[in-house]
């Protein structure tokens, strides 16, 4: 089942995971009732942005308990090293305000 961005207002989002896919490409994943769901923009496209602040602004209207930036590197396998047995996932907690200063000061 696809979870569309337009339907998120009716959901209780426990955690927003902004998945860093490549240098400046971010994908939205939400944790609802213990299950992770990729957020879809429409039938064929997942919700992606090229700007971290833009992604955070899209979710500013929702009541979210926790927001993190997630990165998992595939570079070990790409340079010929054996795949690691343990995950190299890194999650960095982000504040709820997407701006360094309050929005009215921008």
Q: What is the pLDDT of residue 47?
A: 98
CB within 8 Å of 63: residues ≥ 6 apart: 12, 13
Q: Structural domain boundaries of the chain?
A: 3-97
Q: Give the residue, 62 or 105, on which the prediction is more confident.
A: 62
- For residues 18-47, b (16+ Cβ closer than 10 Å) or e, as one string? bbbeeeeebbbbbbeeeeebebbeeeeebb
- Better pLDDT: 90 or 50: 50
Res. 86 pLDDT band, cuts 50 70 90: confident
Task: Read off the pLDDT of residues 10-56 as tens digits, 9 standing for 90 and up.
Answer: 999 999 999 999 888 999 999 999 999 999 999 999 999 999 999 99
pTM given for the model: 0.83
Write down the number of H helices and E strands in the chain. 2, 7
């Amino acid at each position: 089942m696809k979870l569309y961005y337009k339907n998120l207002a009716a959901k209780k989002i426990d955690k927003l995971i902004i998945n860093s896919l490549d240098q400046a490409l971010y994908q939205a994943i939400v944790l609802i009732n213990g299950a992770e769901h990729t957020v879809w923009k429409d039938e064929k496209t997942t919700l992606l942005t090229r700007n971290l602040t833009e992604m955070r602004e899209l979710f500013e209207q929702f009541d979210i308990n926790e927001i993190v930036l997630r990165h998992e590197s595939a570079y070990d396998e790409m340079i010929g090293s054996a795949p690691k047995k343990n995950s190299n996932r890194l999650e960095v907690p982000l504040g709820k305000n997407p701006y360094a200063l309050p929005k009215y000061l921008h």
